[in-house]
Each structure stands twice: as C-alpha cells, then as structure tokens.
C-alpha cells in the first residue's frame, strides 16, 4: 500500500489538524457522493455489493446484502433512517475514535452515500458520550456540510434530501447492539429487541433502518470514487479492501495502522515493535475483549474473518489485545468478565445472573479460595450463556475469553487452585 490512494481511510486522517471542508474537498472529498448522485440508489447498492465490503463493527456481514433487505421503490415507506453506530465501548477498541477525530467529513460523506443508497431522508450519528473531541469536530463538520449544501434540502440541486443529527449516547456497552441502540435513540431503555422483525424493515420509530459501523461507512467514499474492482484489489487475502488494525497491551508501540485486509497478525505485532523488553507473548485476543484467545503459533494467520474463525476465534474489530508472560491470564479474564457483568442490560437470565456468577467464581480462584468444582461450574456457565441461549450476543461474546482461557491456560487455573493463590503474585 505504497500509493496514497491505496489508503482510503488514513489518506484523510489528521488527528492534530483534521481537514476542514475545503481541505477535504481538495483531496477528493465528496467526489464519491457526487458520483453516487449520478446513478440510482440501486446502482449504488450494487457497487457496494460488488466491492465485497464487510461490516467493520465485528460481525463481518456483507454491507451491500444488509442494505438489500430495505424496502425500495414506489411502495416503500415514506421515511427511512440511517444510523452510524459510533458507540465504541468494546474494551481494546479505539479505531472509530481515530476516524471521527481525524476525518469527520469522511464519515459524513460515507453516511450520505449509504443514506442515498437506501433512500433514507434522516440520519443519526449515535456517538459514545465520552468521545467529547469527536463530538466537537463532528458538530463543526456537520455545520460546514449544511452551509455548503452537502446536507439539507435538494442537495447540490438534486431532488435528494438528507438531515443529519449528532446524538450523544448516555452510555452502556449494550448500545453497541443495533436494536438496543435504536431503543436508546428513541428514548427507551437500551435493551435488545426480538428479531424478526429486523431493523431493515421495522427499525427506528417503526421505519426501515440501517445501522452501520463508523469504519464501514468511512470506506464508502473511496468505493464510489474509484470503483468496486479497485477496492477488491487492495486486499492481501480473500476479504476486500483495507482495514484499520491495532494493538494494545505491553507492546513497545501500541497504536493503529491502515493495512490490507488479510495482513498477518505477526506483521501487526512487528509494526508495534514487538513485546516490551523482557516480556514474551503468551496469548492474544484478535479483535477486542469479546473474542477467543489465540496463541503465538497463530501469528501467521491472515487477519480476516474466515481464517480467524477457522482457528477458533473471531476477528471482531481487528484490534489485538496482547497478553504477556508476566501477566496473570486468570486476572485478565476476571477483569474482562467484571466489565461485561457490569454492562449487561439485565434483559435475559443467563446474562444477568450468569456473568456475575462467573465473576464471583473467578474472584474466588484468583484470591486463592477456589476449588476443582469451580472449574466445572465455569464450563457449565459458558454453555448456559452460549450462542442461541441468550437474547443478544453480549453474554456469548463475554464468555469467549473465559472458555478459550480455560482451554489454553488450564495450568494457570490449576496452579491457582493447588497453590491457593496467584503464582504471578508470589
């Protein structure tokens, strides 16, 4: 990716001095949306489908296919909505913040393209409440876009109209689930909705709604500017395009990089300078806190959805959390489960009661008061909270580091039980 045009996201990124409207347009900004206005919404959908852009929020579902479920044509509902999910609360994930702080107009243009493609006339950015600098810069960019005629009535002399609103979230991790987000946007308790009906048909205020991740939307301007075939050629693997990858933990240079999809995990560790002096990599979570552990022997895997899934984990958000050999894996897992237990919306019993129960057991083991029966109970709890047994994916995601940790770090758990305490503190 030596050519600047091969970096559709970071080309526009400048966190210290983000581009204003004129600077953004001087680097090709809003050209993708201008191209979209020259063709039909269905043709825009087809271009995005042909690009094989997959959602960057964690699920990896085809963006074009998701849009295709929205009713179109003369018999479609009068009002439709687009929502940007910018409620980035996944521990270890901070890519959307980077985009919004450094390239606010890129997100606005992506939302214009997506809204036009599905026929939406109102759009919302659902922003994490703690992202105050993002809010300031997005608000400024939205005002600029309205003043220049990129938002509002009859955009650039066309019949198309879009009103864009910035909504600051009151918080809670569950708002990352799209139907809980919709409930929160309506002023209701942020709990997931039963599906079907799906938001594409019955969403915000009962109207067809698409909820897309911030990074997903930021990929759209380059696709409409350069074409879907160009986008498919950026990859180093089988999934199309580029991706913001990152890493946190005790590496020398934690951070974010835009790289071709399918970049091996080892290369991301190399960009981070490797582990800090005196430390060895013990394990890693490939895509935020709600993914299964992988081991050092998995480092040559391409960071793409199918390859990581075949190894027994999920690529998730693509931001790695590194575990070093001097950090207790039991303590790390306990820390993650405490977060998920606190953030459960309490809507279903397995999540509401199961996560605190797992925290109680892990706390007992970590403090040296665990026994062998606790390990069996934890295994049972992982089964009770697995996919298909809870109302949404919060609990299954929460137990991914637990169940994989008990697999890969079984000796650590056993030492806690046998020696009545954490060996890393002795």
How confident is the prediction for the chain on average, in pLDDT?
Answer: 94
Nearest to 25 by CA among 133, 145, 138: 145
Question: Based on the domain organization, do 74 and 23 belong to the same domain?
Answer: yes
Structure tokens at 382: 């992982």
Q: Average the pLDDT over 3-7 and give the result.
A: 61
Question: Based on the domain organization, do 101 and 216 belong to the same domain?
Answer: yes
Q: What per-residue confidence (pLDDT) applies to 112?
A: 98
């105050």: which residue's tokens?
132
Inter-residue contact 366 to 328 (CB < 8 Å)? yes
Question: Based on the domain organization, do 389 and 313 belong to the same domain?
Answer: no
User: SS3 for 41?
Assistant: helix
In whole angstroms, give the CA distance from residue 113 to residue 53: 14
Domain interval for residue 185: 4-232
Inter-residue contact 108 to 12 (CB < 8 Å)? no
pLDDT for 6 beyond 70: no
Question: Based on the domain organization, do 64 and 202 belong to the same domain?
Answer: yes
Q: What is the CATH number of the domain that holds 413?
A: 1.20.1440.230
Question: Based on the domain organization, do 345 and 368 belong to the same domain?
Answer: yes
Of 6-10, 195-199, 215-219, 404-408, the least confident: 6-10
pLDDT digits (tens, 9 = 90+) for 93-132: 999 999 999 999 999 999 999 999 999 999 999 999 999 9
pLDDT for 1 beyond 90: no
User: SS3 for 271?
Assistant: helix
Nearest to 99 by CA among 164, 26, 11: 11
Question: Based on the domain organization, do 320 and 400 belong to the same domain?
Answer: no
Question: Based on the domain organization, do 223 and 82 belong to the same domain?
Answer: yes
Q: What per-residue confidence (pLDDT) applies to 204?
A: 97
Of 3-12, 58-67, 209-218, 353-362, the least confident: 3-12
Residue 246: inside a domain, yes or no?
no
- Tally the domains of the chain: 3
Query: Could you tell me which residues are beta bridge partners of residue 213?
Result: 85
Q: What is the CATH number of the domain that holds 284?
A: 3.10.20.600
Q: What per-residue confidence (pLDDT) applies to 3?
A: 55
Q: What per-residue confidence (pLDDT) applies to 185?
A: 96
Find how far residue 164's CA is from the centre of its chain: 21
pLDDT for 198 beyond 50: yes
pLDDT for 2 beyond 50: no
Question: Based on the domain organization, do 148 and 91 belong to the same domain?
Answer: yes
In whole angstroms, give the CA distance from residue 128 to residue 186: 16
pLDDT for 34 beyond 50: yes
Residue 256: inside a domain, yes or no?
no
**N-term to C-term CA, the chain:** 47
Q: What per-residue confidence (pLDDT) applies to 425?
A: 74
pLDDT for 421 beyond 90: no
Q: What per-residue confidence (pLDDT) applies to 5?
A: 55
Residues 6+ apart with CB under 8 A from 151: 108, 112, 142, 145, 162, 163, 164
Q: How confident is the model at residue 209 (pLDDT cuts 50, 70, 90)?
A: very high
* pTM to 2 decimal places: 0.94
Structure tokens at 313: 């984990």
pLDDT for 385 beyond 80: yes
């Amino acid at each position: 990716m030596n050519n600047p045009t091969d970096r559709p996201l970071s080309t526009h990124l400048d966190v210290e001095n983000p581009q204003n409207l004129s600077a953004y347009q001087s680097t090709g900004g809003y050209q993708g949306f201008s191209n979209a206005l020259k063709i039909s919404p269905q043709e825009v959908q087809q271009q995005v489908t042909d690009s094989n852009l997959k959602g960057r929020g964690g699920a990896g579902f085809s963006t074009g296919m998701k849009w295709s479920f929205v009713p179109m044509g003369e018999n479609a509902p009068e009002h439709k909505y687009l929502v940007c999910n910018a409620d980035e609360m996944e521990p270890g994930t901070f890519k959307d913040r980077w985009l919004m702080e450094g390239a606010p107009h890129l997100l606005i243009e992506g939302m214009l393209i997506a809204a036009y493609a599905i026929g939406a006339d109102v759009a919302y950015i659902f922003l994490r409440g703690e992202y105050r600098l993002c809010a300031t810069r997005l608000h400024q960019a939205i005002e600029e876009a309205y003043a220049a005629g990129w938002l509002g009535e009859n955009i650039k002399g066309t019949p198309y109209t879009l009103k864009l609103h910035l909504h600051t979230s009151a918080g809670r991790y569950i708002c990352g689930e799209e139907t809980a987000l919709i409930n929160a946007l309506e002023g209701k308790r942020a709990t997931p909705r039963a599906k079907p009906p799906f938001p594409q048909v019955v969403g915000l205020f009962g109207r067809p709604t698409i909820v897309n991740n911030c990074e997903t939307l930021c990929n759209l301007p380059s696709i409409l500017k350069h074409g879907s075939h160009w986008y498919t050629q950026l990859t180093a693997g089988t999934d199309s395009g580029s991706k913001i990858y990152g890493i946190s933990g005790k590496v020398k240079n934690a951070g974010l990089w835009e790289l071709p999809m399918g970049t091996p995990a080892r290369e991301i560790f190399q960009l981070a300078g490797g582990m800090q002096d005196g430390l060895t990599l013990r394990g890693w979570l490939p895509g935020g806190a709600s993914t299964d552990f992988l081991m050092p022997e998995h480092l040559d895997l391409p960071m793409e959805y199918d390859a990581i899934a075949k190894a027994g984990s999920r690529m998730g958000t693509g931001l790695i959390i590194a575990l070093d050999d001097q950090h207790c894996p039991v303590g790390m897992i306990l820390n993650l489960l405490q977060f998920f237990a606190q953030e459960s919306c309490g809507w279903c019993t397995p999540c509401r009661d199961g996560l605190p129960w797992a925290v109680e057991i892990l706390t007992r083991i970590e403090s040296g008061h665990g026994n062998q029966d606790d390990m069996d109970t934890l295994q049972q709890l992982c089964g009770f909270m697995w996919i298909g047994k809870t109302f949404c994916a919060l609990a299954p995601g929460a137990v991914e580091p637990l169940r994989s940790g008990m697999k890969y770090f079984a000796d650590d758990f056993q030492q806690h039980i046998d020696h009545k305490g954490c060996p890393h503190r002795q």
